Structure 1
Amino acid sequence: MNLHALRLFHVIAETGSVTRAAELMRISQPAITAQVKKFEKELSLTLLKPQGRGVALTPAGETMAMLANRLFAVEKQIEQYAEEYAAGTKGHIQIAATYLPAHFLMPSWIAKFKRQYEQVEMNITTTNSSGALHMLQHAEVDLAIYGGLPEAYPDSIATEHLFQDELWFVVAPGNRYANQHISLDEMMQEPFVMREEGSSTRERLLSLCRTYNAPLPRITLQFNGLHEAIQAVIAGYGANFVSSLVVREYVERGELCRVHVQGIHLRNTIAICTRKDEPLSAAAANWIALVRQNPYRIKP
């Protein structure tokens, strides 16, 4: 079917005038008349009939006009959607986030973003560091918000560092090492409560011990969630090595205490990760722009 001819007919039906339709479509009246007659012949339908000095719709023409109106209304919706998608006001963003940013940074970022881009759908998967990078590399998500070591990123991943936070050893207030300054070897005498294998912070702790030739930590209790691990330490069992973002408030309230390990001053990098040389959707680019403007920074 000739959609251009259908559009010409649609304009005639809307305006009720071949002359007015010709003006709007910027073609001559004989040309528009000829194309509509050819269209009628193609369909084997009579769509227009003479009426006075103008034209009127036949019964078939009225039905065709109704169907054409639906078609071109959908066309306008498609055009509007494409414009909004290109502007990033509509779309779908898939994000993988490690535990730290997912629980302590993402909620406020999402709230700010959704207030401005309400019609953008978002799906956030919380996983460990290796899981987040795996999902990103295999195009299961558009981007990842990652907390860990910069050198852990694969070559295929582009990273943008937002800020750094400190990594702390923490214990319950009644622990013998609470608020003490001790050696790494002494710290490793404590049992540790940690997250599962694949956790970036757990890997940092193991790497730290190997670097300083210290005994490896005895991870005697393991949780898939960081909250559960922290609660176990608060309850009085063992120690944890964790981002200050997670435990700062607990320390300030006196529910946990820091252990100052001599010579150890490690920081955690919070980064946005994307696939190299692959363009982002406008919605994802808008998300990253908002995160850049609202990064969380630890107060000195």
Structure 2
Amino acid sequence: MNLHALRLFYVIASTGSVTRASELLNISQPAITAQIKKFEKELSLSLLMPQGRGITLTDAGVKVATLAKRLFAVEQQIEQFALDYGQGSFGHIRMAATYLPAHFLIPAWLAKFKQQYEHVEMTITTTNSSGALNQLLNMDVDMAIYGGLPEEYPDTIQTEELFQDELWFVVAPGHRYANQHVSLNEMMREPFVMREEGSSTRERLFALCRTYNAPAPKIALQFNGLHEAITAVIAGYGANFVSSLVVREYVARGDLSRVYVEGVDLRNIIAICTRKNEPLSTAAINLIELIRNN
């Protein structure tokens, strides 16, 4: 079906005049009339008929005009959607994140993002660093946000460091090491309350002890959740080695206290990973820009 001819017919039907349609479309009346006759022949339908000095719609013409109105309304919706999608107002962002950013950074970022881009859909998967990388490589997600040690990535992955986060030793305020400077060996005499095996921060604590030939930490209590581990330390038992992002507010309120271990200055890298040479949607670009600014 000739959509151009259908559009000509629809303008005639909407204005009720070939002359007015000619003026609006900047097409001569004889050209419009010829195309409408050809269109009627294509459809095997009579769409227009003379009425006095003008024209009117046949019964078939009324029905076709109604259907054309729906069609061109959908066309306008598609054009508007394409415009909005290009500006990032619509779309679907798929993201993988490691525990630290997923729980302590991303919720605030996404809250700000959704205030600006309400109709953008979001899917966030919380996993470990290798899981986030695999999802990115397998094209299951558009980006990955991780917190931990910088890793070696394939050439197809692009990494942008956002900032570095300190790792702190913390104890309850009444602990004898609270706000004190101690050696690593002294710190390792304390029982630790940590997350389960496989936790990146736990692995870094063990690696730190190996590096400085210090005794391995004694994990006296183990929880699957970081909140539970911190709560146990606040209650007065043991020590924790944890991201400052997690405990900064606890320390500021006086619920926890830092222990300054001599010679130890470890940091996490908070970074965004994307696939190289693959364009992101405008919505994803807008989210990354918001993260950079926050």
TM-score, normalised by the number of residues in structure 1: 0.89
Shift of 1:92: 1.6
Shift of 1:48: 0.9
- Mapping 1:41-80, distance limit 5 Å: 41-80=41-80
How has the CA–CA distance of structure 1 residues 36 and 111 changed in structure 2, closer, same or farther, with 3 Å as cutoff?
same
- Mapping 1:252-271, distance limit 5 Å: 252-271=252-271
SS of 1:178's partner is coil
How has the CA–CA distance of structure 1 residues 23 and 16 changed in structure 2, closer, same or farther, with 3 Å as cutoff?
same
C-alpha distance after superposition, 1:248-274 (max 9, x if no partner): 121223322222221101112221221
For 1:274, the aligned partner's letter is T
Match of 1:109 in 2: 109
Measure, in 1, the Cα distance between the counterparts of 2:262 and 2:200: 22
Count of aligned pairs between the two proteins: 294
Q: Output the aligned Cα RMSD.
A: 2.1
Measure, in 2, the Cα distance between the counterparts of 1:250 and 1:18: 76
Measure, in 1, the Cα distance between the counterparts of 2:237 and 2:136: 36
- Mapping 1:184-195, distance limit 5 Å: 184-195=184-195
Match of 2:173 in 1: 173
Contact kept in structure 2, 1:96 and 1:132, CA below 8 Å: yes
C-alpha distance after superposition, 1:7-60 (max 9, x if no partner): 111111112122222333333222222222222122211111112222211111
C-alpha distance after superposition, 1:96-150 (max 9, x if no partner): 2222222322233223222222222222233333332232222222212221122
For 1:192, the aligned partner's letter is F
| 2:275 is the counterpart of 1:275 | yes
Identity %: 77
Shift of 1:203: 3.1
C-alpha distance after superposition, 1:138-188 (max 9, x if no partner): 222221222112235454321222222210011223444333333223333
Contact kept in structure 2, 1:130 and 1:198, CA below 8 Å: no
Match of 2:151 in 1: 151
For 1:238, the aligned partner's letter is G
Shift of 1:83: 0.5
Measure, in 1, the Cα distance between the counterparts of 2:155 and 2:230: 33
Match of 1:139 in 2: 139
Measure, in 1, the Cα distance between the counterparts of 2:22 and 2:120: 40
Match of 2:92 in 1: 92
Contact kept in structure 2, 1:22 and 1:32, CA below 8 Å: yes
| 2:127 is the counterpart of 1:130 | no
Where structure 2 has 5 or more consecutive residues not aligned to the other structure, the ranges are none
For 1:118, the aligned partner's letter is E
Match of 1:290 in 2: 290
C-alpha distance after superposition, 1:54-105 (max 9, x if no partner): 2211111111111110011011001100010001111121222222222322
C-alpha distance after superposition, 1:215-240 (max 9, x if no partner): 33333433332212211222233322
Match of 1:119 in 2: 119
How has the CA–CA distance of structure 1 residues 130 and 185 changed in structure 2, closer, same or farther, with 3 Å as cutoff?
farther
SS of 2:92's partner is strand
SS of 2:151's partner is helix
Match of 1:242 in 2: 242
Shift of 1:192: 2.8
For 2:61, the aligned partner's letter is G
Mean Cα deviation higher: 245-254 or 209-218:
209-218
Match of 1:28 in 2: 28
How has the CA–CA distance of structure 1 residues 223 and 8 changed in structure 2, closer, same or farther, with 3 Å as cutoff?
farther
TM-score, normalised by the number of residues in structure 2: 0.91
SS of 1:150's partner is coil
Contact kept in structure 2, 1:172 and 1:235, CA below 8 Å: yes
Measure, in 2, the Cα distance between the counterparts of 1:210 and 1:275: 35
Shift of 1:242: 0.8
| 2:229 is the counterpart of 1:232 | no
